[in-house]
Amino acid sequence: MAQKTIAGKTVNLTDEGYLEDYTQWNKEIAKEIAREEEIELTDKHFQILDFLRKKHGEGAELTIRKVGKSGIADIKELYKLFPGGPLKKSSRIAGIPKPTSCV
């Protein structure tokens, strides 16, 4: 576990850069993590991030397929919004743990 200041807030991160405590997340933290991933967040990104956070809070196991069936964006669009690993990157930006379905 490492500590890092993101958007003026000190947070604990896993070795892979995911927030240890998803309640520390806010939109400013999301924007800064997204910048690290070279992603500029839009309303569509935030809709997906909100969906991920809600499902995580409900204890649901997240998969790219479930996100694709959310009605927010299909799988092809997810790859455009979060290139190079949509579920992995979107989860990190959303402040939730890395999904077990991600390598």
| From 31, 47, 66, 102, active-site residue | 102
Look up 102 and say whether it is catalytic. yes
Q: Residue with structure tokens 């070795």? A: 15
Q: Write down the H helix ranges in the chain.
A: 27-36, 43-57, 64-68, 75-81, 86-94
Q: Assess contact for 90 and 64: CB atoms under 8 A.
A: no
| Residue 5: φ, ψ to 5° | -95, 120
Catalytic residue IDs: 102
